[in-house]
Amino acid sequence: MKKISKLFLMCVLMLSFAIPAYANERETSDQRLASLQKVMDKVNAKLGSTYYIPKENQEKVLNSLKDKSLEEIEQLLTAQYTAAFPNGEVEPDITTPLPTPSSEDSTNIITPFSVTESIRQTSPIQYNTSMYLDSTVFSASGSAGTFIYQSLGQYGTIKSSSTGFHFVVDQSTRQISSDKKNVGIEFIGHPEDENGVALALQLIAQRVFNAG
């Protein structure tokens, strides 16, 4: 019975030390986030930017900027914004109603009468980002203009730069035409930097890929 009582007392003592430690750590994180937001508010007021920290990015932002002072962060945000918007103008939405036949990688399977290719098609969109579509296309003859999409794979975005803003997708839609020659993709999202800091701007990018 004494052993049980001692064990129970030890557990209580351990919890009594752990809970304040967790509370202090949480308080420190909250304080740091509040300080970061004050810096962003200052930059926003000066430049007309719309910096904020998405809730889902809070831990990423804290880890990414933990070794920087508030003054360094202010300089970083200012330089980053002025580099992206030298004239203070936001990049426009990008829409291409015509087919985009660009492709990077392909694997061909050729028979005497047909061609099957696994391809990745890419097309630049806003903020150092490209849209991509993986697919398999087929043609009975292999002639240009006769290919159709046999199957669709993954689609998404690729960053073309490790710094600056990039396009983060919040919503996406994909639709294939009835003749299976074209695939339309639309992304709705926002700009975000490599640290997880975002701009409160809605972006729209639309592309139509052609099977070839």
150-160 pLDDT, tens digit per residue, is 999 999 999 98
**Backbone CA torsion sign across 81, 206, 201, 158:** negative
106, 197: one domain:
yes
100, 183: one domain:
yes
129, 50: one domain:
no
> Is 135 a residue whose pLDDT tops 60?
yes
* Tokens matching residue 28: 């420190």
**Does some domain include residue 69?**
yes
> Is 21 a residue whose pLDDT tops 70?
no
What pLDDT was estimated at residue 99? Answer: 61
65, 124: one domain:
no
What pLDDT was estimated at residue 22? Answer: 44
71, 99: one domain:
no
For residues 15 and 212, which has the higher predicted lDDT (pLDDT)? 212
116, 162: one domain:
yes
11, 104: one domain:
no
Cβ(183)–Cβ(103) below 8 Å: no
User: What is the distance, to the nearest Å, from the Cα of residue 186 to the centroid of all Cα atoms in its chain?
Assistant: 14
Cβ(196)–Cβ(210) below 8 Å: no
Q: Which of 45, 75, 105 lies at the terminal end of a domain, its last residue?
A: 75
CB atoms within 10 A of CB 209: 29
> Is 187 a residue whose pLDDT tops 90?
yes
**Does some domain include residue 180?**
yes
**Does some domain include residue 150?**
yes
26, 115: one domain:
no
Cβ(191)–Cβ(165) below 8 Å: yes
Q: Which of 75, 105, 122 lies at the terminal end of a domain, its last residue?
A: 75
114, 193: one domain:
yes
**Does some domain include residue 81?**
no
Confidence band (pLDDT; 50, 70, 90) for 91? Answer: low
Sequence length of the chain is: 212
**Does some domain include residue 138?**
yes
Domain interval for residue 136: 94-210
- 77 class by beta-carbon count within 10 Å (0-12 exposed, 13-18 middle, 19+ buried): buried
- How many independent structural domains does the chain possess? 2
**Does some domain include residue 89?**
no
Confidence band (pLDDT; 50, 70, 90) for 108? Answer: low
**Does some domain include residue 80?**
no
71, 103: one domain:
no
112, 196: one domain:
yes
**Does some domain include residue 137?**
yes
